[in-house]
């Protein structure tokens, strides 16, 4: 939505507040700012589904609408972050699946977390991967845990 409004040169209405202070502006500029706000407000409303539109159509200005939508739906990103963490917690390698595919899935989970700005120390990633090894690898996992050397994740992947 932000990209679309920026492309239409309307996002400045939201960045600048309700409307620019036009006390020193000419009447034409004031109406231009007001027109921009009406356009921005209308464009945002037009992008909403009908049932969501009915909830938010009472808003008067673009900034108010933007703030209300951000408050209600801006928390979706937090849920996605929690989902990424949950994927890491419940990930477990299995004996019946190709090992390389499972390692790739683990790396994808890490990449997804990084994209959501969730970073874990390398030692934690190494410990997580060791703990996620298939049950048939339990003796090997124990030997890795007791090695005095500090592994990085790439080192561990080469070892595996």
Determine the angle formed by the axes of helices 122-131 and 138-145, rounding to 10 degrees: 150
Using the structure block, give the residue that is written with the tokens 């120390």: 121
Which burial class, exposed, middle or buried, applies to 148 when counting CB atoms under 10 A from its CB (0-12, 13-18, 19+)?
Answer: exposed
- What are the residue ranges spanned by the domains of the chain? 2-73, 76-159
CA 125/CA 113 separation, integer angstroms: 12
pTM above 0.75, yes or no: no
* pLDDT digits (tens), the chain, 160 positions: 777 777 777 888 878 774 444 444 433 344 577 888 888 888 888 988 888 888 888 888 888 888 888 887 776 666 677 888 889 999 999 998 999 899 999 999 999 888 888 888 988 998 999 999 999 998 988 888 887 677 788 888 887 7
């Amino acid at each position: 939505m932000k990209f679309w409004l920026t492309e239409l040169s309307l996002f400045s209405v939201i960045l600048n507040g309700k409307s620019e202070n036009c006390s020193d502006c000419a009447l034409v500029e004031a109406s231009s700012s007001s027109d921009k706000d009406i356009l921005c407000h209308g464009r945002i409303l037009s992008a909403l589904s009908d049932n969501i539109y009915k909830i938010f159509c009472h808003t008067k200005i673009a900034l108010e609408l933007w703030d209300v939508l951000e408050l209600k739906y801006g928390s979706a990103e937090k849920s996605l972050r929690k989902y990424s963490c949950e994927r890491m917690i419940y990930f477990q390698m299995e004996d019946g699946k190709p090992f390389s595919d499972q390692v790739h899935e683990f790396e994808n989970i890490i990449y997804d977390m990084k994209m959501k700005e969730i970073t874990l120390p390398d030692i934690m990633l190494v410990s997580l991967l060791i703990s996620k090894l298939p049950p048939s690898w339990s003796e090997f996992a124990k030997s890795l845990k007791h090695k005095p050397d500090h592994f990085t994740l790439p080192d561990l992947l080469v070892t595996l």
